[in-house]
């Protein structure tokens, strides 16, 4: 073992001496968390129903980064303005990057409820049931949206 470690050290020294740069070792999650934009201001605009202001910021962010939260909020904001087609595109982008994104699943399900596609809304509900076997807010909210639509 000592001989192996000595050889490994010698290889690293030779690589450094020759100018060979080895890539840093890090987990993918570390990269995502450091690249994630601060969405506090955008969320405040959404809470205030300033969807146009939120859209402007989100579109700028989407040009700079590919983050599922940005795409999810773009979808949400567009859905709230009635642009269901473009909202669907952004929800799908969020889910391509992170298939277990609970908020994107909820909001996509709500889009389907709002557009009358209850079968697809229930598909998103089934996905959330798998992601949240003991329950979660996103699951409860989508269940409520479906129930409200069914009883109308």
**86 within a domain of the structure (yes/no):** yes
- CA nearest 79: which of 96, 67, 92, 63? 92
**3 within a domain of the structure (yes/no):** no
**126 within a domain of the structure (yes/no):** yes
Three-state DSSP at 85 gives helix
Q: Tokens at residue 96, please?
A: 């391509």
**67 within a domain of the structure (yes/no):** yes
CA dihedral 99, 100, 106, 109 (to 10 degrees): 40
Count of CB atoms situated within 10 Å of the CB of 80: 15
**1 within a domain of the structure (yes/no):** no
Residue 22 has pLDDT above 80, yes or no: no
What pLDDT does 140 receive? Answer: 98
Q: By CB neighbour count within 10 A (0-12 exposed, 13-18 middle, 19+ buried), where does 62 fall?
A: middle
What pLDDT does 7 receive? Answer: 44
**5 within a domain of the structure (yes/no):** no
Which residue segment(s) compose the domain that 115 sits in? 27-151
Which letter does DSSP use for residue 21 in this model? P
What pLDDT does 56 receive? Answer: 94
Distance from C-alpha of 145 to C-alpha of 8, rounded to nearest angstrom: 59
Q: Find the CATH number of the domain harbouring 104.
A: 1.25.40.10
Q: Which of the four pLDDT bands, split at 50, 70 and 90, describes residue 51?
A: very high
Residue range 65-115, pLDDT digits in tens: 899 999 999 999 999 999 999 999 999 999 999 999 999 999 999 999 999
Backbone phi, psi, residue 116, to 5°: 85, 10
Distance from C-alpha of 23 to C-alpha of 71, rounded to nearest angstrom: 29
At CB < 8 A and 24+ separation, what contacts does 55-63 make? 55/81, 61/37
CB 150 within 8 A of CB 120: no
Distance from C-alpha of 88 to C-alpha of 92, rounded to nearest angstrom: 6
**110 within a domain of the structure (yes/no):** yes
0.85 exceeded by pTM: no
Domain count, the chain: 1
């Amino acid at each position: 073992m000592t001989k192996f470690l000595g050889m490994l050290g010698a290889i690293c020294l030779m690589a450094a001496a020759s100018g060979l740069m080895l890539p840093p070792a890090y987990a993918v999650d570390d990269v995502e968390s450091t690249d994630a934009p601060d969405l506090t201001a955008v969320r405040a605009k959404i809470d205030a129903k300033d969807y146009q202001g939120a859209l402007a910021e989100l579109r700028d962010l989407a040009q700079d980064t590919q983050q599922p939260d940005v795409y999810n909020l773009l979808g949400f904001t567009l859905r709230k303005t009635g642009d269901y087609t473009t909202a669907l595109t952004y929800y799908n982008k969020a889910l391509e990057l992170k298939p277990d994104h609970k908020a994107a699943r909820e909001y996509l399900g709500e889009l389907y409820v709002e557009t009358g596609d209850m079968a697809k809304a229930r598909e998103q509900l089934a996905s959330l049931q798998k992601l949240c076997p003991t329950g979660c807010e996103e699951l409860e909210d989508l269940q409520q949206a479906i129930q409200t639509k069914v009883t109308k």
